Structure 1
Amino acid sequence: MAGDAQLLAIGKQCSHSSCLLVDFLPFKCQHCELPYCQEHFLARDHHCSKYDETKHNRVAPNCPLCNEPVTIPPGQDPNVKMESHFSVECSATTGKTKTKSLPVCQRVKCGKPLYSPIRCDKCHKQFCPSHRFPSDHGCSPTSAIGASRLLSLNTNSITTNAKSFNVKASAVGTTVVDAVRKSIPSSSSETSSQRGASSVSTPSKPTSSLSKAFSKTDR
């Protein structure tokens, strides 16, 4: 009897009337807060009196066209509500722009509305609980992306500046060469004209072919 009392003190009995199993790790119902075993802890298994299906079993399937969650009111047929969404609210069929009041998961092809978003410490984006880990959403840190973009921008600017400098240098060189070529014929013509003028203005001294008629001895 003492051993049974110790076992009962450690575990708890299942609250289901037809079970009463002593479970060392019992489950607590979130509605009636009574302990149950593994077979009876769900509300439908122990016919929970405090479970309201209209409050807790709400359905919000995603639209297959616009991927927006469609809330199904209690007691309404989901097919009727989805048809109404297609004809009035769906952006794919009506052409209306999406109005997002809640942030959505930023993983590609997810788009779940985030009632309590989880921000990644590496890429600083918001994700749903299913894609909160870096391996689940293909995390790419923003610092690495920013550094690579900055490096590519610097490289492109340096290349552009070098090309413009080469173009300017070639243009200046061409201008200098043309100026030199134009100055060469004018200087040569000026030199030749100066030579011609000097040859015309400077007369040559006449050389006398006759010797003097009288010398000192003849006097």
Structure 2
Amino acid sequence: MKCDACEEIFCKDHVTYANHKCMSSYKKDVQVPVCPLCNTPIPIKRGEMPDIKVGEHIDRDCKSDPAQRKRKVFTNKCSKGGCKQKEMIKVTCDDCHLNFCLKHRHPLDHDCKTDGKPASKSG
């Protein structure tokens, strides 16, 4: 018998999604996942991975206490234009006094400007 999700061939005992641990069952088995932290139903479209959508909900929208605490750990956003990295601790540039991620912490890595002038390139 052929599994309608992964299209593999199985005997009648293993054709069900659970019995062969089908990795494609999310395509056919349409259930609304529930956030394990706040018990909110997470809407998903057919073919979307429920685990990914629940993870995104926890990272962005979840109102539960553990999710809020997790989100607040990394609040120090990099000041380099286009960088969205956040760090657990502040990394302040001694020259321009802005906060940066570890990748952009050195003056040459974030085009540091002190008093409107580019920082010296001699190190």
Q: Which has the higher contact order (CA 8 A, sep 6+)?
A: 2
TM-score tier, shorter chain, comes to 0.3 to 0.5
TM-score with structure 2 setting the length: 0.37
TM-score with structure 1 setting the length: 0.23
Larger Rg: 1
Higher helix share: 1
